[in-house]
Chains A and B, each alone.
Chain A
Amino acid sequence: GEDVEQSLFLSVREGDSSVINCTYTDSSSTYLYWYKQEPGAGLQLLTYIFSNMDMKQDQRLTVLLNKKDKHLSLRIADTQTGDSAIYFCAESKTGTASKLTFGTGTRLQVTL
């Protein structure tokens, strides 16, 4: 079956960079996503990457994909207190581009 794993918790100081990691098992994953969830709210799509890409940068966010190791990371530069939230990675497959399998979620805590 499909498995998407993340570490549960990350604490960083304001202004530092955060790196949230994700591993997945299904090599047929085509699209990989990062979502942000604030307490009591839905999910906000942050960014996504196609499996034929290695890196994508969007303002403070950098996504790195190592397809060989099935490893995805999200780097947040200059982390702010407003970045405190749960971050989910998710993957979808060729032919079912919209059905998502979510990771376990990483709680990011930003301290002053």
Chain B
Amino acid sequence: GAVVSQHPSRVICKSGTSVKIECRSLDFQATTMFWYRQFPKQSLMLMATSNEGSKATYEQGVEKDKFLINHASLTLSTLTVTSAHPEDSSFYICSAVGGLSSYEQYFGPGTRLTVT
């Protein structure tokens, strides 16, 4: 199956700093990538949809100036959490759609962000 990677897998940062998370599709070109956030023991909450070469579409309630998304190529999307605060601590998961079908969504392994 298609492989999606995320980097880093875990990151701890100080309050007020910015953190960049990368999502890569390793063996296919991803026309669309999604960014999700997952709180402990909860479901995934879609944050934004990212299409290569265009601006991301954010879900209601997600601050686009705080969560900057860049989909610069067909294999890479980045999520930058700006001026991070402890309440931004969460598990961030990306997914990618592309390859042979547009209805199969493949997920990365997730990034655990802890803001101290």
On A, residues with C-beta under 8 Å from B are 31, 33, 35, 40-45, 48, 88, 92, 97-105
**With contacts A42-B93, A43-B93, A100-B46 known, is A92 near B109, CB below 8 A?**
no
> CB of B104 within 8 A of chain A?
yes
On B, residues with C-beta under 8 Å from A are 1, 4, 6, 32, 34, 42-44, 46, 49, 93, 95, 97, 102-110, 112
Secondary structure at chain A's binding surface: helix, strand, loop or mixed? Answer: strand
Contact, CB under 8 Å: A98 / B97? yes
Closest-CB distance, A46 to chain B (whole angstroms): 11
Q: Cα distance A92–B112 when bound, in Å?
A: 26
Residues on A with beta carbons closer than 8 Å to the beta carbon of B93: 42-43
Residues on A with beta carbons closer than 8 Å to the beta carbon of B106: 45
The 28 listed contacts between A and B (C-beta, < 8 Å) are A33-B105, A40-B112, A41-B109, A41-B110, A42-B4, A42-B107, A42-B109, A42-B110, A43-B93, A44-B107, A45-B1, A45-B107, A88-B44, A92-B103, A97-B102, A97-B103, A98-B32, A98-B97, A98-B102, A98-B103, A98-B105, A99-B34, A100-B105, A101-B46, A102-B43, A102-B44, A103-B43, A105-B43
